Amino acid sequence: QSALTQPASVSGSPGQSITISCTGTSSDVGSYNLVSWYQQHPGKVPELMIYDDNKRPSGVSNRFSGSKSGNTASLTISGLQAEDEADYYCCSYAGSGILVFGEGTKLSVL
Amino acid sequence: QVQLVQSGAEVAKPGASVKVFCKTSGYTFSDYTIHWVRQAPGQRLEWMGWIQPASGKPKYSQRFQGRVTFTRDTSATTAYMELRNLKSEDTAIYYCARVLDTINTSCYGRWGQGTLVTVSS
């Protein structure tokens, strides 16, 4: 199972919106509504931000939203804040109990 | 509150084995699948597999099949991950993670703090 494809880095200014893409295949992202997104600050444990393509766990800011089209899922962060600077990973169910993570994207808030 | 507490850092030689534990509390251990995820230094998260605590049934990533074993002790509400025949590229932080809930089992609502395993001669 190959890693899902994410851009290595994205950047934005405070207050702006950014979108991180996550491209898989028809065997994973495109087949199931089970893409999740994790935020990981340096030296910290990952935190769930989006699950089931577009659902937010309780406590996660509504500035974070998820969507999907075909084999590509996206995470959008609106009203960018300095604290959003982190690494972001997508994860998808790939059938038969298998999960696959993305390559990770480093978000810089300029 | 839900907690997953992992064992401490390990240093092992190439070819050796390591066993990491994940002690859980604050919920019914048998009800939630535990996954194992690792992250090499500066690298991405990598899924290793899971264990269903109620049955002990494991699922392994093909990448680790034959080299990793997941077990659990329900009386101790603890999950274990053993990785054998260690190589230098196995140097990583190993995380246990509990699925979000009993319905949403493809994402993680709680993580252990991570266990650094260093493989070095």
At B75-89, the pLDDT tens digits run 999 999 999 999 999
Contact A44, B39 (CB under 8 A): no
What is the distance between the alpha carbons of residues A76 and A100, in angstroms, rounded to a whole number?
20
Residue A1 has pLDDT above 80, yes or no: no
Any alpha helices (H) in B1-121, and if so which ranges? Answer: none
In whole angstroms, what is the distance from residue B119 CA to residue A10 CA? 33
Summarised one tens digit per residue, pLDDT across range A18-68 is 999 999 999 999 999 999 999 999 999 999 999 999 999 999 999 999 999
User: What would the two tokens of residue B78 be?
Assistant: 């603890």
Q: Is the pLDDT of residue B36 over 90?
A: yes
B35 and A99: CB-CB below 8 Å?
Answer: yes
Average pLDDT across chain A, whole number: 97
pLDDT at B119 over 90: yes
Contacts of B109 in chain A (CB under 8 A): 48, 57
Q: What count of residues does chain B have?
A: 121
What H or E segment, with its residue span, contains residue B121? Answer: none
Asked if B61 lies within 8 A of A98 by C-beta distance, the reply is yes
